[in-house]
Amino acid sequence: MSMILNNVNYVYGTGTAYEVQALTNINLKIQDGEFIGIIGHTGSGKSTLIQHLNGLIKATSGGIYYNGEDIYDDDYDLRQLRSKVGLVFQYPEHQLFETTIFDDVCFGPMNQGLSKNEAGLRAFEALKNVGMPESLYYQSPFDLSGGQKRRVAIAGVLAMKPEMLVLDEPTAGLDPKGRDEIFEQIAQMHEENHMTIILVSHSMEDVANYVRRMIVMNQGRIVYDDVPVKVFGYCRELEAIGLAAPQVTYLMQEMREAGFAVRTDVATVADAKKEILRLFGSRVSR
């Protein structure tokens, strides 16, 4: 299974004084089971891009194909697409509205035509997958912490059994502990379920430990699309478009400039630790 975007363009306010080119010539192929980070500063086009993936926004020009089918064909079932490509918005309170957590998570499957019992089984499974304790299932979602609301919002999408999960800034506004917990849960879901996951963020640091492929956007265009360590090698270019590599990448570059023979294509603390131990271990062994 795959999704292909072919020369996709999108213009807000076409023909008005407020016309803005939000996406320009986007060519992208997403393979089944990938874990992708889409990175860019505010206004870079990343949120506009992901809303094209399940047909919430229609491209001004260009084509989008899901599993070989053109989603813009007149007879294409967009409702079916949205059950396969689940989108979790940046602020989960925009997606929570039922009186209990359990009812909220049941809503999507029931809207797909499942029975109450089938939807309930899906809800239990999804809530378990995101680490929500059963003692909270029948409480109001509005009584939850920010991190718990994120988990419930993700569970509501998971309960619909999507093939692709798209998360727009899923840790926005959370404290470091809550942010780490959400990222760990997402990584675990990818590992256990082999689900295609697209993680949108403005922070290189946040996604460096998790994604396998990184797409960097600027002014509605894709400027880099590669494995994270290669993208982070463009530190100065990233800074020029308002982004930055992880702090540990800068540390390794400073060590190299100071005369230490370390690799600079390092993006995580764990990899930096291995590299430093390798360096000093080799010195001690001499």
Rounded to a whole number, what is the largest CA-CA distance in the chain?
Answer: 71
Domain count, the chain: 1
Cα–Cα–Cα angle for 157, 159, 162, rounded to 5 degrees: 65
DSSP code of residue 225: E
User: CA 71 to CA 85: how far, in whole Å?
Assistant: 12
Task: Please report whether residue 225 resides in a domain.
Answer: no
Residue 285's pLDDT is 47
User: For position 178, what pLDDT does the model report?
Assistant: 78
Residue 256 domain-assigned (yes or no): yes
Range of the domain at 260: 246-285
Asked whether residue 182 is assigned to any structural domain, the reply reads no
In a domain, 271, yes or no: yes
Is residue 168 one of the residues assigned to a domain?
A: no
Q: How far apart are CA 188 and CA 18, in angstroms?
A: 43
Q: Report mean pLDDT in 10-residue bins for the chain, 286 residues.
A: 92 90 96 94 92 95 96 93 88 82 94 92 92 92 87 90 90 80 85 89 79 94 93 86 84 86 81 84 54
pLDDT for the residue 283: 54
In a domain, 124, yes or no: no
Question: What's the CA gap between 249 and 43, in Å, rounded?
Answer: 25
Residue 228 lies in a domain: no
